[in-house]
Amino acid sequence: MLKTLSVLHTPELLHALASMGHGDEIAIVDANFPAVSMAQRLVRLDGADLAAALTACLHLMPLDNFVKEPAFRMQQVHAPDEIPEVQKSCQKIIDQAEGKHVALSGISREAFYERTRKAFVVLVTSEQRPYGCILLKKGVVFPPGTN
């Protein structure tokens, strides 16, 4: 155990987040997502829901502020403009972590799958609610006083 880290900061997750560079993407997906067949690198957080996994990641990783859309959610196939509760909770976590509103942009299921195949890492959770899938683009950690 280490001080100040969550129990969700497993060695595998810490290695993946630390290995990511500016602009690399992490897909955080639900239990129904075909993560094993899509992932270049797979990290499991069995027992964690999407909100807990997202909070653990954003505790250590900034979002990319050089792009207009650093965070994405998988749109529902039957109602693409409707935002499910699982994704609404993610929006609140993102805004809190970033200290400002950062839109969780919707992309189609097919587009989400395509981006996940190219993502640096896929983090699979035990989230059981449908459409508990988001994708984040990593930003830059600036030295103190330089951003």
pLDDT digits (tens, 9 = 90+) for 83-128: 999 999 999 999 999 999 999 999 999 999 999 999 999 999 999 9
Q: What is the pLDDT of residue 146?
A: 80
- The pLDDT value recorded for residue 116 is 98
What is the model's pLDDT at position 147?
64
Three-state SS letters, 12-40 = HHHHHHHHCCCCCEEEEECCCCCHHHHCC
**Mean pLDDT within 29-43:** 97
* Percent of the chain scoring above 90 in pLDDT: 93
Q: Which two tokens stand for residue 114?
A: 């395509």
Reported as a pLDDT band with limits 50, 70 and 90, residue 11 is: very high
Considering the segment(s) 24-137 as one domain, its CATH architecture is 3-Layer(aba) Sandwich (3.40)
What's the CA gap between 80 and 94, in Å, rounded? 21
Point out the residues that are catalytic.
22, 64, 113
First-to-last alpha carbon distance for the chain, in angstroms, is 32
Distance CA 97, CA 99 (A): 6
Higher pLDDT, 143 or 65: 65
* SS3 call for 94: helix
Average pLDDT of the chain, as a whole number: 96
Domain boundaries defined on the chain: 24-137
Cα 72 to its chain centre, rounded Å, is 8
Residue whose structure tokens are 């600036």: 142
Question: Which amino acid, 51?
Answer: A
Mean pLDDT, residues 6-35 taken together: 97
- pLDDT of 2 over the 90 cut: no
Report whether 109 contacts 126 (CB < 8 A).
no
Q: What is the pLDDT of residue 57?
A: 98
Is 69 within 8 Å of 142 (Cβ atoms)? no
> What is the per-residue pLDDT for 144?
87
Q: 88 in helix, strand or coil?
A: helix
